[in-house]
Homo-oligomer: A and B are copies of this chain.
Amino acid sequence: MTVQLDTPIDPVEDRKPTRSRRRIPETAVLAAVLLALAIFFSTQSQFYLTPNNLLNILVSASVIGIIAAPGTLLLVAGQFDLSVGSGAAFIGVVMAWGTAQWGIPTGVVLAIVAGLLIGLVNGVAVTVLGINALITTLAMLAILRGLGQVLAGGQTLLLPGFNDLGNARPFFNVPIPVLVFAAVVIITALVMKFTVFGRSMYAIGANPIAARLAGIRTKTAIFGGFLLSGAAVVIGGLILVSQLGAASPNAASGLELSVVTAVILGGASLAGGRGTIVGTLLGVLILGTLNNGLTLMNINSFWQDVARGVLLLAAVGFDQLRLRLTGDK
């Protein structure tokens, strides 16, 4: 039972008084990294700091961000959902396919049902059947990719007349995806901090046995987490399909890895019990800024891969440095 995944090989670290740790919170370091990146890119490209570009970053980050919110909740409880990428594509295909037959409202209803079904199946497999979340959701990833292809006949399906969700700018010229992103982040942050459900997820992640013995309905809570992830996939999938006006069963490939990267970059621990939405938000924005900034700098896409990797390492390494400096090692 005394196991941790990504842990301190060095026990001394754990004895550091919490106080000194909290003096520079993890999120402050991430914010500093984000700021440093922003300053760097603004010296490299005159366009980086324009309001339009910053909005672009937010828009591009919104689908990842929306899905990363319940992703954080799940990881905090020691669970994963790797089916989100193919899930979002599948939702899009269901929406376009349903719309083609019965119109937009039915399409949306079908998409919602599909998303909740995904959450349900993942949840049942993990909590009722007791199958490892990684295997469950990797299997689901393959299944949904395949089903999406089958439903779409391997083609991209057009979805006309459903552009507003992805493109309308109802307030202050801010596009709906960004507003939804903000809303999801705020709601999830509140849920995680101020609800029994949210706190239960932390407790489950920190020690599933203790949580169960404390009378927490661990299975129900985790089930809820997968359902929320399914719900976020619906929102993300619909935004994506609305932005593109078309649904491709190949869309959003690799999204699951971006989500996991953002969440972990944001300070959540694979071993559960640690992580915040603010951290994840910063993680999402750092990744978004990296992609955008490197493109603005006109860098060859191969070198972009290299730069992305190096900067990711640097960001986390910087955080480790903070731990050493503030810790009394």
Query: Which residues of A come within 8 Å of B, CB atoms?
Result: 1-11, 13-14, 78, 125-127, 129-136, 138-147, 149-150, 154, 204-213, 218-219, 222, 257, 260-261, 264-265, 270-273, 300-310, 312-313, 316-317, 320, 323
A310 to B140, CA, bound (A): 8
Docked-complex contact B146 and A306, CB < 8 angstroms: yes
Given contacts A11-B212, A143-B310, A310-B139, contact A4 B6 (CB under 8 A): no
Closest B residue to A7 using CB positions: B208
Contacts of A272 in B (CB 8 A): 3-5
**C-alpha gap A302/B139 in the complex (Å):** 14
**Are the CB atoms of B302 and A154 closer together than 8 Å?**
yes
Q: How far does the Cβ of A243 sit from chain B's closest Cβ, in whole Å? A: 25
A–B complex contacts, Cβ < 8 Å, 22 sampled: A2-B206, A3-B5, A4-B271, A5-B78, A9-B204, A9-B219, A10-B130, A11-B208, A125-B313, A129-B320, A130-B320, A130-B323, A132-B316, A134-B260, A138-B257, A138-B309, A138-B312, A139-B310, A142-B308, A143-B310, A146-B307, A150-B300
Cβ contacts under 8 Å, A306 to chain B:
142-143, 146-147, 150
Complex Cα distance, B150 from A11, in Å, reads 40
- Report whether A264 and B303 are in contact in the complex, using a CB–CB cutoff of 8 Å: no
**Nearest Cβ in chain B — how far from A133, in angstroms?**
6
A309 touches B132 (CB 8 A): no
Chain B residues whose CB sits within 8 angstroms of the CB of A204 once the complex forms: 9
User: A272 CB to closest chain B CB, in angstroms?
Assistant: 6
Is the beta-carbon distance between A78 and B316 smaller than 8 angstroms?
Answer: no
User: Cβ of A213: which chain B residues have Cβ within 8 Å of it?
Assistant: 11
Most chain B beta-carbon neighbours within 10 Å: one of A6, A143, A149: A6
Residues on B with C-beta less than 8 A from A209 are 2, 7-8, 11, 14
Is B14 touching A139 in the complex (CB atoms < 8 A)?
Answer: no
Chain B residues with CB under 8 A of A131: 313, 316-317, 320
When the two chains form the complex, which single residue of B142, B145, B205, B302 contacts A312, counting CB atoms closer than 8 Å? B142
A315 to chain B, nearest CB (A): 9
| Bound Cα distance from A14 to B210, whole angstroms | 13
Residue of B nearest to A152 (CB): B302
A60 CB to closest chain B CB (Å) equals 18
In the complex with contacts A130-B320, A316-B132, A205-B3 CB distance below 8 A: yes
Closest 4 pairs between A and B when the two form their complex, measured CB to CB? A146-B305, A143-B309, A142-B309, A146-B306
State how many angstroms separate the Cβ of A138 from the closest Cβ of chain B: 6
Residues of chain B within 8 A (CB-CB) of A130 are 8-10, 13, 320, 323
Please give, as numbers and ranges, the residues of chain B lying within 8 Å of A317 by CB-CB distance: 125, 129, 131
B6 touches A3 (CB 8 A): no
